[in-house]
Chain A
Amino acid sequence: MPDGALGPPSRFRAGLDRLIEGRPEQAVPLLEAALADAEDAPWAGLNLALAYVQLGRIAPALPLLEAAAVALPDHAEVRFHLATVLGLRNETDRAAECYSAALERNPDHLLSLAGLAAIEESAGRHGTAAALVARARRLAPEEPELDIMGGRLALAAGDAATAAADAERALDRRPGHVRAASLLAEALRTRLGADAAAAEIAARAGAEPLRADWPLVAASLDGRAGRLSERVGELRVAVALLPESTDVLAELGKALWEGDQRPEAEAVLRRAIAVRPGDIDLRNWLATLLWRMQRPSEMLTWLDSATADFGAAPTLEVNRALALNALGEQDAAVAAADAAAAMQQTGASALIARMQVLAYHPEQGHAAALLAAGRAIAERLGPPPPRPERDRDPDRRLRVALLSGSFGAHPVGWLTVAGFEALATDPGFELYGYALRPRRDGVNSRFRAVCRHWREAAALSDAAVAGAILEDGCDILIDLGGYGDSGRPYALQRRPAPVVVKWVGSQFATMGLDCIDWMLTDRWETPPGAERFYTERLLRLPDGYVCFSPPPYAPPVAPTPVLARGHVTFGCFNNLAKITPQVLALWARILATLPDARLELRTQTLSEAGTRERVVARCVAAGLPMDRIVLHPGCRHPQLLGAYGDIDIALDPFPYAGGLTVCEALWMGVPVVAMEGDSFSGRHAVSHLSNVGLPDWIATDAETYHDLAVARARDVPALAALRDGLRAQVAASPLCDAPRFGRNLAAALRHAWGAYCRET
């Protein structure tokens, strides 16, 4: 490196000084200027790249490092930095080449040995990785990171004692090292079992009350055992003991996220990201938190910035797909999911995300495409194991497992709980509940009250969930999660019961999986001939496929508002993912035909300013008259139901129709104009409207949808008369007839069981 002793300090020298002082943001303009003047190149370029990396801006660093590598052909360090950046960008093969190139130039380049070892380890080549780590540890016996790598490899090789010793060495040298604490937790758990490990750590914490490592290890053990609150508490202790550690702070942020303390999680993650902008993981955590908080627009901004800095990565693209979908930008969502799937060569998470967003796509969201998407997942998962063997007595009492993260005030709850209550009165069945997300509300209590056995399974791995269902000897497993947020397709893939049935809970299409035997449905959801779009056998109930529990707090039906206002108000309270450009265009035509009519949209994500702006832009582009459109933010469920008092007619979206939303509108006296599709999700409204005796509200194409909406809006007396009697009509219909539904469900499950008994 040239020294700056000659003449006044150059901009390069000044930039370098700032970098050494740990002020990369001040170094950047100086080094950029130096580079522009070709001053001290390639060193200016190299150091500018390092400054960028420190600021988390990986993308602009890459070309600089590539240029520096060409300019400095014998330099190991440049190749090491290049490898690191490539690794961050998920370009693993190139990263490995660069590490090797660095080691050719300097066989003792410690960090390259470590970097290459990490790549070998994640590729599952543990022997090679261990050899590289051993070489590195000879060079730097005091380096805690190498202790951690060595310990992790030892644990993978079954040597928990060495792993624990390595982790402790690392913690001795670098207090508050989160990964070392996590390794120690895992090693102790493996060696002693969960309870003894926790006792051991509690004893050490008692002996050294000012040391942050023990609460960190305790937090890690809590996390593994699903004790989310205790984990937060331990991490708060660790933060108090080691307030300067960003690692520990970030860990607290993640724990708060998982413990559902959302606003504080957001604040803590933002603080951690400000200190560690180069941590892709933290940004992804924040993005998924924003997803939970129904702020897809801001989530997208974060993901875009992460992608700009780190390049495209499958996780980022998967989350982009979900964010775009939540914003109702289905084209871009499917494109992101496709990109993720193309990048991800192993695992099915990208394909599952693709399936999730595909159902909403205006052109591609049809039954055949969804079947193909489901089959792609099945191929990736491989064949399921054989069914477990059970006593094949067709008439005996059956143990039915219910698997869901949505046992509560959630569409799954409102559409199934009354059915299960009725089923539980049949002595031929006993229900076992496996809850994949902790919930406590009135609907959750109803589920727990009917399940003979209840297990909170959120903390369990897929294998452990499947293991519990298998050990409990369940005969039939009803999945109520599908490919949704808290679904467990990998647990289903283990086939923990001889008969597996898919029901409500991201039930938008076939799952495409060989491990699912039946899909609970009805003749409207899946008319004759629909079989070809399903890998499951269709278990058609004689009425509708769900049993609706009207929320007890639903206010009385209000008079249809057109009577007082003189103009019709349409409404759609579905989430934005369902609102395609075609839907908006059709609504624009309806409003053009009815120049006084209004349209109100209401959903959670409209509370976010950025999302509203995007939706307004899309509405304008679709030709909707904005002076007659109201976008309402989300509100609590009782208020949402009350808001139907302002709506005369609900307009259902397509191709992904409303499900619970249709039932709720009908219960609130609001009839629904809906479009018939060919996928399962495209026919939810068809099922519910037919089931309550309103099949004449179903359109078959855009033309009939338009005409139907217009004709119904113009016949105000008919609208008022229908509304007056609609709640009573729904209440008396099979949609709300739980005893009748329970008998039908029992017969259907008995039929599925009989098929298993007859099978050889």
Chain B
Amino acid sequence: MSATHSLQLRLAEDAAAAMRHGRFAEALPMVERLGRLPDPPAGIAALRAQALFGLERLEGAEAAADLAVAAADAVETRQLRARIRLARGDAAGAADDAAAAVMASPGDRAAKGLLGICLLEASRWDEALFFLGDVATDTDPPSVLQLAHAFARSGRFEAADELLAHCTARWPGLPGLAGIRAQAALFAARAADAEAIARAAIAADGPSPALLALLAHAQVAQGRLAEGSATLAAAARLAPEDGYLAHLAAAAAGEAPDAAAVEYVTRVFDGYAPRFETQILSLGYRVPGLILRAVERLFPDVAAGDARLGSVLDLGCGTGLIGVVLDDLLPPREGRTLIGVDLSRRMLEQAAVKRLYTEFRHAELAAVMAADTASYQLITAADVFCYLGRLDPVLALCRARLAPGGVLLFTLERSPGANGEWRLGRTGRFAHSAEYARSALASAGLEIVLWQEESLRLEGPDLVEGWLIGARAATAH
């Protein structure tokens, strides 16, 4: 055995041992060194992906996993990448990898379980339940808990309750059980139960960000906003790196960061995507209709059927409701430009199903517009700018992307207080003052062509009041 070879063996063994004990920070220097030695061993990319994944450096982990899969398309590397993609919120990609692993090793229970989890996250309920049901067995309590979780997530509350009662009776101390029970109770609109379960778990094991967030949701759902706010603050302190919790806590406390954290928007909408349409329509969501009306008013030739709408950029397209209402005004599919932008991959997946859009961009909207060079006849931002505080930068970007005569159509929620430019409400959205909106438009070089007071939707028993605003690039006088 050559000296280098034995050195490699030793480092690989030491690194693997450290990772087995969860000491990824210790393993990484050894893995990095292995990669730099002459003739690095074949499995080095997978080791690196594993270490980075353990350190929650997900982007680097996925890149390393890509290399690992390219080098050797093994079951283990596929599963590793599936887990990494899952953690990054790419459920569809994760499901692809997990499925490949199952096909390569059909008898592998763990592979099927992982696939089930990926499908669950991808909201492919029936397939998820098939695989998770296939592997669930009492000899492996977490597999049963996972199945119960899947039932709850997919709205099959009775089945979830039955299975969770079984778990509680047989394995009362099962890790994660309380969290899933509380979540299932929340899904089933039993907030008081969720609160009791979360409280008992916190008393037994100490607080965790997940349990505190569940408790906070339960408190808010019961109308106890102040308590929920304090609980969210505690959750955010326990997970200072979690942008979602930080935003929720800030929103609940009435503090206003400049823009809703990217992570917040992603998480909220990824979580809601499958039920978003039914939920938001049932909430009296009027914005898509209002947009259609406004487009008809601002482009009379299009409304009259004498012309077709030109290229459209739909910011924050969500599940594609704007595409639905504009479909008749656009050219036929092959001749149109309708680009949907959203931070939530799951939202985009829902929108894609409609086959109305010509392109999707999965990114933050300012980034998309900054990188874009095309111009658009219509830019829509329905219920999008309520996730931003200061509007000046985004309005300037929109103006730069408007074609001559092009229109920007967007909604804003009205800030109840007259003073200030905007405030962050308890739902995590921003409300703006009219004065601020007007001055932001003016300073971005946009002139108002439409300003309608509107009730945008119902939130609980309350109407959310706001404006539908249309603007064009200001012309020199």
Contacts from A to B (Cβ < 8 Å)? 205-206, 209-210, 215, 218, 227, 229-230, 232-234, 236-237, 240-241, 259, 425, 441-446, 448-452, 454, 552-553
Task: List 28 A-B pairs, Cβ < 8 Å.
Answer: A205-B33, A209-B37, A210-B4, A210-B37, A229-B23, A230-B26, A230-B28, A230-B29, A232-B26, A236-B11, A236-B14, A236-B18, A237-B30, A240-B10, A240-B30, A442-B205, A442-B206, A442-B207, A443-B206, A445-B207, A446-B206, A446-B207, A449-B234, A449-B237, A450-B234, A452-B237, A552-B203, A553-B204
- Residues of chain A within 8 A (CB-CB) of B203 are 552
**Chain B residue with the shortest CB-CB distance to A243:** B10
A233–B30 touching, CB < 8 Å:
yes
The smallest C-beta distance from B239 to any residue of chain A, in angstroms, reads: 9
Cα A123 to Cα B205 with chains together (Å): 53
- Residues of chain A within 8 A (CB-CB) of B38 are 209
- Residues of chain A within 8 A (CB-CB) of B7 are 240-241
Cα A445 to Cα B203 with chains together (Å): 11
Cα A234 to Cα B26 with chains together (Å): 8
- Residues of chain A within 8 A (CB-CB) of B28 are 230, 233
What 5 A-B pairs come out closest when comparing CB atoms?
A: A442-B206, A229-B25, A233-B29, A209-B36, A449-B234
Give the contacts of B26-69 with A (CB-CB under 8 A). Answer: 26-30, 33, 36-38
- Residues of chain A within 8 A (CB-CB) of B29 are 215, 218, 230, 233-234, 236-237
Cα A461 to Cα B230 with chains together (Å): 34
Given known A450-B234, A552-B204, contact A233–B26 (CB-CB < 8 A): yes
- Residues of chain B within 8 A (CB-CB) of A445 are 206-208, 238
A206–B36 touching, CB < 8 Å:
yes
Cα A141 to Cα B11 with chains together (Å): 37
B212–A237 touching, CB < 8 Å:
no
Cα A451 to Cα B25 with chains together (Å): 26
B27–A233 touching, CB < 8 Å:
yes
Cα A442 to Cα B206 with chains together (Å): 4
Interface string of B209-241 (1 = CB under 8 A from A): 000100000000000000000100011011010
**Chain B residue with the shortest CB-CB distance to A259:** B26
**Chain A residue with the shortest CB-CB distance to B3:** A210
**Chain B residue with the shortest CB-CB distance to A417:** B206
**Chain A residue with the shortest CB-CB distance to B25:** A229
- Residues of chain B within 8 A (CB-CB) of A229 are 23-26
- Residues of chain A within 8 A (CB-CB) of B235 are 449
A236–B37 touching, CB < 8 Å:
no
- Residues of chain B within 8 A (CB-CB) of A425 are 230
Given known A218-B29, A442-B206, contact A448–B238 (CB-CB < 8 A): yes
- Residues of chain A within 8 A (CB-CB) of B18 are 232-233, 236
Of the candidates A240, A259, A441, A553, which one forms a contact with B11 in the assembled complex, judged by CB atoms under 8 Å apart? A240
- Residues of chain B within 8 A (CB-CB) of A230 are 25-26, 28-29
Of the candidates A206, A236, A449, A553, which one forms a contact with B207 in the assembled complex, judged by CB atoms under 8 Å apart? A449
Cα A206 to Cα B38 with chains together (Å): 11
Could you tell me how many residues of chain B have their Cβ less than 8 Å away from some Cβ of chain A? 31
The smallest C-beta distance from A148 to any residue of chain B, in angstroms, reads: 25
Per DSSP, are chain A's interface residues mostly helix, strand or loop, or mixed?
helix
The smallest C-beta distance from A233 to any residue of chain B, in angstroms, reads: 4
A227–B234 touching, CB < 8 Å:
no
- Residues of chain A within 8 A (CB-CB) of B37 are 209-210
Interface string of B309-337 (1 = CB under 8 A from A): 00000000000000000000000000000
- Residues of chain A within 8 A (CB-CB) of B26 are 229-230, 232-233, 236, 259
- Residues of chain B within 8 A (CB-CB) of A233 are 18, 25-30
Contacts beyond the supplied A236-B14, A448-B238: 10 A-B pairs with Cβ under 8 Å: A229-B24, A233-B28, A233-B29, A236-B11, A237-B29, A240-B10, A240-B11, A445-B206, A446-B207, A449-B212
- Residues of chain B within 8 A (CB-CB) of A443 are 206
- Residues of chain B within 8 A (CB-CB) of A553 are 204
Of the candidates B10, B23, B205, B237, which one forms a contact with A451 in the assembled complex, judged by CB atoms under 8 Å apart? B237
- Residues of chain A within 8 A (CB-CB) of B234 are 449-450
Of the candidates B24, B30, B204, which one forms a contact with A236 in the assembled complex, judged by CB atoms under 8 Å apart? B30
- Residues of chain A within 8 A (CB-CB) of B10 are 240
- Residues of chain A within 8 A (CB-CB) of B36 are 205-206, 209
**Chain B residue with the shortest CB-CB distance to A441:** B206
**Chain B residue with the shortest CB-CB distance to A454:** B237
- Residues of chain B within 8 A (CB-CB) of A441 are 206
- Which among A215, A240, A552 has the greatest number of chain B C-beta atoms within 10 A? A240
Give the contacts of B110-160 with A (CB-CB under 8 A). Answer: none
A552–B27 touching, CB < 8 Å:
no
Cα A233 to Cα B28 with chains together (Å): 7
A552–B205 touching, CB < 8 Å:
yes
The smallest C-beta distance from B178 to any residue of chain A, in angstroms, reads: 12
Cα A450 to Cα B4 with chains together (Å): 52
The smallest C-beta distance from B334 to any residue of chain A, in angstroms, reads: 51
Cα A448 to Cα B240 with chains together (Å): 10
**Chain A residue with the shortest CB-CB distance to B38:** A209
Cα A553 to Cα B173 with chains together (Å): 11
B14–A240 touching, CB < 8 Å:
yes
- Residues of chain B within 8 A (CB-CB) of A442 are 205-207
- Residues of chain A within 8 A (CB-CB) of B206 are 441-446
A449–B27 touching, CB < 8 Å:
no
**Chain A residue with the shortest CB-CB distance to B33:** A237
The smallest C-beta distance from B117 to any residue of chain A, in angstroms, reads: 25
**Chain B residue with the shortest CB-CB distance to A202:** B32
Cα A210 to Cα B230 with chains together (Å): 53
- Residues of chain A within 8 A (CB-CB) of B230 are 425
Cα A425 to Cα B227 with chains together (Å): 11
Cα A229 to Cα B204 with chains together (Å): 30
The smallest C-beta distance from A119 to any residue of chain B, in angstroms, reads: 37
B33–A215 touching, CB < 8 Å:
yes
- Residues of chain A within 8 A (CB-CB) of B205 are 442, 552
Cα A215 to Cα B14 with chains together (Å): 15
Cα A227 to Cα B28 with chains together (Å): 12
**Chain A residue with the shortest CB-CB distance to B7:** A240
The smallest C-beta distance from B189 to any residue of chain A, in angstroms, reads: 27
Cα A240 to Cα B6 with chains together (Å): 9
Cα A227 to Cα B204 with chains together (Å): 31
A209–B33 touching, CB < 8 Å:
yes
The smallest C-beta distance from A167 to any residue of chain B, in angstroms, reads: 21
Cα A454 to Cα B239 with chains together (Å): 11
- Residues of chain B within 8 A (CB-CB) of A448 are 237-238
- Residues of chain A within 8 A (CB-CB) of B30 are 233, 236-237, 240
B25–A227 touching, CB < 8 Å:
yes
**Chain B residue with the shortest CB-CB distance to A235:** B29
The smallest C-beta distance from A220 to any residue of chain B, in angstroms, reads: 13
Given known A205-B33, A227-B25, A229-B23, contact A449–B14 (CB-CB < 8 A): no
The smallest C-beta distance from A364 to any residue of chain B, in angstroms, reads: 40
The smallest C-beta distance from B198 to any residue of chain A, in angstroms, reads: 13
The smallest C-beta distance from A145 to any residue of chain B, in angstroms, reads: 28
Cα A236 to Cα B7 with chains together (Å): 11
Cα A209 to Cα B11 with chains together (Å): 13
Cα A227 to Cα B212 with chains together (Å): 29
The smallest C-beta distance from B17 to any residue of chain A, in angstroms, reads: 10
**Chain A residue with the shortest CB-CB distance to B21:** A261
The smallest C-beta distance from B248 to any residue of chain A, in angstroms, reads: 15
Cα A309 to Cα B426 with chains together (Å): 70
Cα A520 to Cα B26 with chains together (Å): 41
- Residues of chain A within 8 A (CB-CB) of B207 are 442, 445-446, 449
- Which among A206, A209, A451 has the greatest number of chain B C-beta atoms within 10 A? A209
Cα A454 to Cα B25 with chains together (Å): 22
**Chain A residue with the shortest CB-CB distance to B200:** A552
**Chain B residue with the shortest CB-CB distance to A444:** B206
- Residues of chain B within 8 A (CB-CB) of A452 are 237
- Residues of chain B within 8 A (CB-CB) of A218 are 29
Cα A449 to Cα B234 with chains together (Å): 5
The smallest C-beta distance from A738 to any residue of chain B, in angstroms, reads: 12
- Which among B23, B230, B234 has the greatest number of chain A C-beta atoms within 10 A? B234
**Chain A residue with the shortest CB-CB distance to B236:** A449
Cα A210 to Cα B25 with chains together (Å): 21
Cα A259 to Cα B238 with chains together (Å): 23
